[in-house]
Amino acid sequence: MSTKSGIQISTKIILAVAMTLQEVRRKTKTKGYGATPLIEAYTRSFVEAIVSGNKHLAIESLKSLGDLYLEKGRVGRDKTAITKAAGMYRGALDRCEDSGGRETLKHRINTYKEHLEQGCKAQQTGDLDTAEQHFAAALKSIHGKEESKEVDPLRKISDVYLKRGVQSKDGDHFAKAAALCDAALMTQTIYGKNTAHLDIAASLCNLGSTWIGLGDFKKAISYHEQSLQMMRHIYGEKTAHPNIAASLGNLGTVWTDIGDHKKAISYHEQSLQMRRTIYGENAAHPDIATSLGSLCNAWITLCEFQKAVSYGEKSLHMMQSIFGESTAHPDIAKLLGNLGTIWTDIGNYKKAVSYHSQSLQMNRIIYGKKIAHPEIASSLNNLGIDWMRLGEYKMAISYYEQSLQMNQSIYGENTAHPHIASSLNSLGSAWRELGDHKKAVSYHSQSLQMNRIIYGKKIAHPEIASSLNNLGIDWMRLGEYKMAISYYKQSLQMNQSIYGKNTAHPHIASSLNNLGSTWRELGDHKKAVSYHKQSLQMKRSIYGKNTAHPHIASSLNNLGSTWRELGDHKRAVMYHEQSLQMERTIYGEKIAHPDIAASLNNVGNDWAKLGDYKRAVSYYEQSLQMSRSNHGKNTPHPDIAKSLGNLGNVCANFGDLRKAISYHEQSLQMMLTIYDFQDGLADEEN
C-alpha cells in the first residue's frame, strides 16, 4: 500500500470515528445534561469498538471517557473520578500506535498528575502563594502562543486573589482580582461577542464575587446574574449542574449583604435543591454542606435562630462525615465559629463560648499554635464578644487585644486593614461598657480613620457608616447629644447613599432608631417618637409586619420608653408588653435571655410610675432572677445591679426603708466592683 493511500484510509477512519462520537454526543444531549448518560454512551461505543476490532474508535472512546471523568472530578472535587480519568488515558495510550497521539496522551497524564498533586496540596494547606506560582507558570507557557488558553490561568489567578481578599478583607486583593477577571473577559472576542462560553461565565462569576468584596453590591448582582444566565444557556434552562448551583448560591450571598434576606434564602434553597439533585438527596458532599451553611447564615440574619441552628448542625455533621469527626479542617472550624455566633445571638453565651473555644482550638491545630493567622484572630475576637455579653469586660478586652495584636502582626502594625479596624472597633465597644467613654471614643475614632484610609475618605461604605454610628453612641453616653446627632446623621446619610434613600434596610432603620434615642435624651420627645416610628415601620417592612424579630421588639421598647417620659404611662406599658411578648416568641417562653430581662425591668418601671408597686416588684424580681440566671448568681453585672436599684426604689415608695437601703447598697457595691470605681451608676433605662 502506498503512503498516500494509507493516509487517505487513515483520514477516512478518523473522520468516521469523529462522526460516530459526534452522533453519540448529539443523541445523549437530547436526553438532558449529565455526565452519566455520556459515560454510558462512550462505554457502549468502546465495547462495540472491541467487538468490531475498530482500534481508532476504541482509543477515541477511552480518551473521551477520560475527558469526561476528569471534568467530573474537577467540578465535583471527586478524586475517584480523576483516578478513573487517568486509567482511561492509560488505556488509550496502550492501544495507540501513532507517535503524535502517544505524546499527547502522555502529556495529558503528566498534566493530570501535576495538577492533582499541587491542587490537593493547595486545598489541604491553603497555600495560595504556591497556587499562584503554578497558575502564573501555566500562563507564561502559553502567553502569546495560544490566546484562547490564557483565559483559564487568568481566571484561576483571579480566584487566588479573590480568596486572599475574602480571608483578609484587603481591598487591594479584590482590586487585583477584578483586573485579572477583566483581562480574562477581554478574551471573549475569541469565542464571539455574544457567545455563551464557560470561560466567560466563570469570569463573570469571579467579577461578581470581587465586587462583593469591594462593597459594590449592585455590580455584584449584575455580574452574577449574567453568569447564571450564561450557565443556563450552556447547560439548559432546567438542567441541574454544579456551576448553576454555585451561581444561585453566589446570588444568595449578595442578597444577604444587600439586606434582602428572603430573596437570599430563596436562592440558597434553589442551590441546595439542585445540589441534592446532582449528588443525591441523602449524599454527603462538600457543596451540599456549603449550601446548608449558607442557609444557616441567612436564617441568622432573619433571627430565625432555631432554623439557623438546624441548618448549621446539619452542615457541621456533613462536613465531619466527609473529612472525619476528629479531623481539624478549616470548613469545620468555620462552622463551629458560626454556631457559636448563633448561640451568642440566642443569648446562650456559655454555649457560644464552648463553640468559639472549639473553633479557636481547631484553628490553632490547623495553622499552628504560635502562628498569627486571620482565622485564629477571628476566633479570639468572637470569644471577646461572648465574654462582653457575659459582662466579663476585662476578659473581653483581653481577647480583643490578643486579636488586635495578631492582626497587626499579620498585616503590619502601621497598616490600615479591615481586620485591624474591626479589632479597634471592638475594643472601643468594650471600654464603653466599662464606662470609659473617652477611651471608647479614642478606639472608635482610630477605627473610623483607618476605614476611611482603606475605602476612601469620600467613599460611602458600610464599615465607615458603622464607625460613625459607634462614635454617635459614645458621644451620647458622654452627654454630648448634639455631637451624637451629628455622627448619627452622617451614618444615616451614608447608609441611604449605599442602599438607596427610599430602601428599607436594617442599617438605615438602626440610624433612625439611634436618632430617636438621642432626641429623647435632649428632651424633644415628639421628634424622638417620629424617628422611632419610622424605624419601626422600616423594620416591619424588612422582616414582615407580623414577624417576631429582635429589631422590631427593640423599636417597640424604645417607643414605650419615650411615651413614659412624655407621661403617657398606659401607652408605655402597652409598647413594653408588646416588646416583652415578642421577645418570648423569639427566644422561648421559658428561656432566660437578656432582652427579656430588660423588658421585664421596663414593664416594672411603667407600673411603678402608675403607682402599682406590687406589680412593679413582681416584674423587677422576675428581671433580677433572669439576669442572675443569664450571668451567674454571684456575678457582678450591670443588669443585676439595675434590678437591685429598681427594687430599692420601689421599696422606698412602699415605705420599707431598711429593705430599700439593703437593695441600694447591693447595687452600689456591684457597680463599684464592675467599674473599678471609675464610673457612676448605670442609667436606669436600656
pLDDT at 645: 94
Average pLDDT over residues 247-265: 86
Average pLDDT over residues 323-339: 91
Angle, vertex CA 57, rays to CA 56 and CA 59, nearest 5: 65
Beta carbons of 381 and 369 less than 8 angstroms apart: no
pLDDT at 547: 86
- pLDDT band at residue 128 using 50, 70 and 90 as cut-offs: low
pLDDT at 578: 97
Q: Tell whether 531 is covered by a domain.
A: no
Cell of 128: 495560595
**What range defines the domain where residue 71 resides?**
1-122
pLDDT at 103: 59
Q: Tell whether 33 is covered by a domain.
A: yes
Lowest-pLDDT range of 65-74, 408-417, 433-442, 516-525? 65-74
Long-range CB contact pairs, 85-89, < 8 A, 24+:
85/112, 86/112, 86/113, 88/62, 88/63, 89/62, 89/63
Say if residue 187's pLDDT is above 80: no
- pLDDT band at residue 455 using 50, 70 and 90 as cut-offs: confident
Cell of 473: 453612641
Unique residue bearing C-alpha cell 459582662: 391
- What whole-number distance in Å separates Cα of residue 373 and Cα of residue 381? 13
- pLDDT band at residue 310 using 50, 70 and 90 as cut-offs: very high
pLDDT at 377: 95
Lowest-pLDDT range of 52-61, 75-84, 190-199, 646-655? 75-84
Looking at every residue in the chain, the average pLDDT score rounds to: 80
Lowest-pLDDT range of 181-195, 449-463, 557-571? 181-195
Lowest-pLDDT range of 195-209, 404-418, 492-506? 195-209
Average pLDDT over residues 314-321: 94
Q: Tell whether 28 is covered by a domain.
A: yes
- What whole-number distance in Å separates Cα of residue 172 and Cα of residue 318? 35
- What whole-number distance in Å separates Cα of residue 645 and Cα of residue 254? 46
Which candidate, 597, 542, 587, places its Cα nearest to that of 305?
A: 587
The number of folded domains in the chain is 1
pLDDT at 482: 94
What is the DSSP annotation of 394-437?
HHHHHHHHHHHHHHHHHH-TT---HHHHHHHHHHHHHHHHTT-H
Query: In this predicted model, which residue has the larger pLDDT, 300 or 686?
Result: 300
Single-letter amino acid code for the residue at 85: A
Say if residue 476's pLDDT is above 80: yes
% of the chain exceeding 90 in pLDDT: 45
Half-sphere exposure of 250 (CA within 13 A, CB side): 29
- pLDDT band at residue 257 using 50, 70 and 90 as cut-offs: confident
What's the Cα-to-Cα distance from 521 to each of 303, 478, 517, rounded to whole Å? Answer: 29, 12, 6
Average pLDDT over residues 380-396: 91
450 exposure class (CB count in 10 Å sphere: 0-12, 13-18, 19+):
buried
- pLDDT band at residue 140 using 50, 70 and 90 as cut-offs: low
Query: In this predicted model, which residue has the larger pLDDT, 253 or 681?
Result: 253
pLDDT at 566: 94
Average pLDDT over residues 549-566: 94
Q: Tell whether 34 is covered by a domain.
A: yes
pLDDT digits (tens, 9 = 90+) for 564-600: 999 999 999 999 999 999 999 988 888 888 899 999 9
pLDDT at 123: 37
- pLDDT band at residue 204 using 50, 70 and 90 as cut-offs: confident
- pLDDT band at residue 682 using 50, 70 and 90 as cut-offs: very low
- What whole-number distance in Å separates Cα of residue 379 and Cα of residue 364? 10
Single-letter amino acid code for the residue at 634: N
Rg (CA), the chain: 31
pLDDT at 594: 87
Q: Tell whether 81 is covered by a domain.
A: yes
pLDDT digits (tens, 9 = 90+) for 261-281: 889 999 999 999 999 999 999
Q: Tell whether 71 is covered by a domain.
A: yes
pLDDT at 400: 97
- What whole-number distance in Å separates Cα of residue 102 and Cα of residue 96? 6
SS3 470: helix
pLDDT at 548: 87
Q: Tell whether 48 is covered by a domain.
A: yes
Q: Tell whether 104 is covered by a domain.
A: yes
Say if residue 472's pLDDT is above 50: yes
pLDDT digits (tens, 9 = 90+) for 24-40: 445 444 444 455 566 66
